[in-house]
A and B are shown apart, each in its own frame.
Chain A
């Protein structure tokens, strides 16, 4: 079953930037998702936690469809959450959509 939630108006996600969405997992534990906007206005969502040392990816520099982690500059793909070689690791991704200028995010089933 899908679980789409409203995030924010599209214009409130900065170009080449991100916003932090705080939500809860199945055990009611809080965690953050980064919702990113690329230069060509695509929206991506990945866990706000770098596979390296859990740096907040939403705070990194966004370029192309990647983000550079602000702590140690691992390059993480916004498309599949994977770290750029030679680093190894990945972080979870979420589906997104934009309808009537509003960004939605699909959370995993609760």
Chain B
């Protein structure tokens, strides 16, 4: 088949991101040609400031090398500025005479620095700050000249000022507003920033307006710039002037080709321009009237654009909320959203929470409206910036955490990284990811060398955070501080996997609405991108089908992880472990004898007592499993399942001199009632007979504690990666009520949590208030949920005995010898 031709005008971060995304999902449908007007291949523009500050070199910030273009069969023209698009014949022409035909055209022409229209703006030594050439010009100027003036105290201006100071120049920043970074900071933080920068030797003239620039010729009208004059009549010497008063989308090429522009190239939510063959992304576009100058939105656009170029026709860009960070070493600031105070915004519904330590140099402000964070400014301690930004983007109600909100996300993880909660305090040699042995330095290096921008990229390239996930918060901090304004935290409502753009909630809703009963219909109905999904989405879909349509949907064993498929736990050497159920942790001499006999007969290498009060037979060959189950004649303990695991119990009132309730019997009753239950993740119960809590009910998904007058029920505990203490749900009187309340809780979790969410993650997202409303206040709803759970479990088959009886149907356990 003849490939279509894709021409990309603009070899920058946005355009090339589209190409990279496109190569990932549809590598073979286009012949790609790229035109760039700079002599370089695609580089990381947001890292120009560290280059100016001598922290990195040009080579460090190249994102795609010439070899990369060649390997991917991309024709690259550098130093080639396109000056004409012939839309009728579908050809673009460059100034150097080269041309290319296209079937699809992608415009990513970026932006231009805005040059103040004042006298002297065209003098030698007056520049914008946009590309490698500007950066090199500044470094060269610093070698021969002394006085640098930066017009504009915004992010770019301050980064330029800091860099030129490091290059040895005497630097003055001219700013029109009363304080620096007025779009990113409130007055207090702006003044603190000014103080820190002054300590670095920078000078500032605030509330100052530039009138003209004069040159070193006799009439002052030509030659190299020598002075800057202000409207108040004063002047200072200047032999390098950097204009950093803003950027303007660069859309003149599109406009001259007759493509509709309005302060930018106008695109719809699919990044298509008014010419359906022409797409546009990046700083040059106006999407819903907004042009973005930060990298995170550009990448979101690129992703959407790539899916449309790949003819998937899915994904839409709805605009971005952005956050900013200043890349000046030693200065920590972060801001996001609308952080104006109630007075400034003339909005009485706003509230602010402020922490200000002028001596310690820390300032934090959170602006809240209708129980949600709408803006934040952090200065001096920005460790929690990413967290606040996440709460803001997700519009999460904060009343439950309000009293501790200002003190940050109290801990980012408890195990596996030496108890560190602040990435900044870690040295490069310290281990961040305890599972995969990844140090901080390795992550920083990968981010810089390989041009990584997202948590997923870092996970993929370094493995940090890709196993148990406990260090993801730390990795996120490292990423945020390495990227500054380029960092965008992942949205929590993300797509289920790369096979679809639908998120978990949307998938569940469609399964319910359309009554899908098997995986192929589900994938077809939702236009899955892959023929049979992947190892991430298939188990999730299988669970959603089973939990939404019990008894009607088809369970697909091939979409289950091996442990659930063979009802045993795979071990590192490919053997399995066998754990029979012991309801409530109670066993008998007969059971123990049977277990001992089986362990002897099959030469089981290790017999171990588990943390869940039962016995584990480890190192069993797959082909021995069915025989062992037959000999054991005990039910499966589901120790391998995303489902009900154990109900841990203490001795209780039957024997214990302190016991107030018969916790052992309660545990047995729960384990029997909920036996065979599948869930989004593993579910652990515990029942203690008195508040001494010997069964450790405080760290279980459902923890029950007997008191003299009844039972207390706690939910959302977790003893794993991050120790989470269960929260009090309610107190009930009878054991029937324990079953009903805990059953309803678990059923709502089963129906509404995302696959692989533990109860704690689900509660964190929906809030304990919501859970209480569903389980405690809505009496009918609770009873109905409990009924649905019992219905789902009706007639459940014990999997081990089933496989023993139907050996023939389970050939997968047999090895073929040749």
Could you list which residues of chain A lie within 8 angstroms of chain B, going by C-beta atoms?
5-8, 12, 14-17, 19-23, 32, 35, 39-40, 53-56, 59-64, 66, 68, 70-73, 75, 86, 105, 107
Contact = CB atoms under 8 A, between A and B. Distances in A.
Contact of B816 (A15, A21, A60): A21
Interface in B534-548: 534-535, 538-539
Contacts of A55: 572, 574
Contact of B538 (A53, A59, A61): A61
Interface of B: 460-461, 467, 530-535, 538-539, 558-562, 566, 570, 572, 574, 622, 811-812, 814-818
Given A14-B812, A63-B533, A23 B817 contact: yes
B561 A32 contact: no
A12 B808 CA distance: 11
Given A61-B538, A63-B532, A71-B572, A86 B460 contact: yes
B538 A19 contact: no
B559 A61 contact: yes
A107 B812 CA distance: 22
A22 B572 contact: no
A86 B539 CA distance: 23
Contact of B558 (A17, A72, A86, A107): A17
Contacts of A56: 570, 574
Nearest to A55: B574
B811 A7 contact: no
A53 to B, nearest CB: 7
B818 A22 contact: yes
A53 B535 contact: no
A39 B740 CA distance: 42
A41 B801 CA distance: 31
Nearest to B811: A12
A21 B561 CA distance: 21
Contact of A61 (B561, B566, B570, B816): B561
Contacts of B812: 14, 17, 19
A45 to B, nearest CB: 11
Contact of B534 (A14, A63, A107): A63
Nearest to A39: B532
A108 B558 CA distance: 30
Nearest to B817: A22
A63 B560 CA distance: 12
A39 B561 contact: no
Nearest to A65: B531
Nearest to A57: B574
Contact of A22 (B560, B574, B816): B816
A60 B559 CA distance: 10
Contact of A7 (B535, B539, B622, B816): B816
A60 B562 CA distance: 6
Given A19-B812, A62-B558, 13 more contacts: A7-B818, A14-B812, A17-B558, A21-B815, A22-B815, A56-B574, A59-B566, A61-B535, A63-B535, A68-B535, A73-B535, A75-B535, A107-B818
Nearest to A72: B467
A14 B572 CA distance: 24
A51 B703 CA distance: 42
A21 B817 CA distance: 6
Given A39-B531, A63-B534, A20 B816 contact: yes
27 contacts: A6-B818, A7-B816, A15-B558, A16-B532, A17-B558, A19-B811, A19-B815, A20-B816, A21-B817, A22-B818, A23-B817, A35-B816, A39-B531, A56-B574, A59-B562, A59-B574, A60-B562, A61-B538, A61-B539, A61-B559, A61-B561, A63-B530, A63-B532, A63-B534, A63-B538, A68-B535, A70-B570
B803 to A, nearest CB: 15
B558 A59 contact: no
Contacts of A21: 815-818
Contacts of A6: 818
Which of A7, A20, A35, A60 lies at the interface centre, i.e. has the most chain B CB atoms within 10 A of its CB?
A: A20
Contacts of B818: 5-7, 21-23, 105, 107
Contacts of A16: 532, 558-559
A15 B535 CA distance: 15
6 pairs of A and B residues whose beta carbons are closest in the complex:
A68-B535, A16-B558, A56-B574, A61-B535, A59-B562, A70-B562
Nearest to B565: A59
B461 A61 contact: no
Nearest to A53: B572
B570 to A, nearest CB: 5
Contacts of B814: 19
Given A7-B816, A22-B816, A39-B531, A71 B558 contact: no
A42 B566 CA distance: 24
Contacts of A60: 535, 562
B565 to A, nearest CB: 8
A17 B565 CA distance: 11
Given A20-B815, A21-B816, A22-B816, A64 B535 contact: no
B534 A59 contact: no
Given A5-B818, A19-B811, A73-B535, A61 B558 contact: yes
A55 B571 CA distance: 9
B570 A71 contact: yes
A60 B566 CA distance: 12
Nearest to A19: B816
B817 A59 contact: no
Which of B533, B538, B561, B816 neighbours the largest number of chain A CB atoms within 10 Å of its CB? B816
Nearest to A20: B815
A63 B538 CA distance: 9
Contacts of A107: 818
